[in-house]
Amino acid sequence: MPTFYLRDERHTLASALRPELERAAGPDDFVACTLVHPLDGHLEVEAPSAAAVRTALLAVKARIAHARQELQEQQREEQQQQQGQRETA
């Protein structure tokens, strides 16, 4: 099984990437995201193929974009509510 090294990445990406790798890989495929040592500057990813890693990374990227969009919408709604409260006061 190939091992991929993602430079300058840590636990945050590993925590988001592993479930997506499990979805992208087959049911019998082994996947892992490991930060071998706390001082290491890279994340080790074991996956069945580069395509599985790419698919998982794109899925994580899409989830982040969706979360950002929801936060922006929520902030706009809160600003509109605050503005409405100021106008009625």
Angle at 73 between CA 70 and CA 74, to 5 degrees: 85
pLDDT, one tens digit per residue, over 58-79 is 999 999 999 999 999 999 999 9
CATH of domain 3-88: 3.30.1360.10
pTM for the structure as a whole:
0.81
pLDDT, one tens digit per residue, over 18-60 is 999 999 888 899 999 999 888 888 999 999 999 999 999 999 9
Nearest to 49 by CA among 61, 37, 57: 57
Sheet with 32-34: strands ordered across: 3-7, 42-46, 32-34
Give the model's pLDDT for residue 21. 94
The residue ranges of every structural domain in the chain are 3-88
CB 3 within 8 A of CB 46: yes
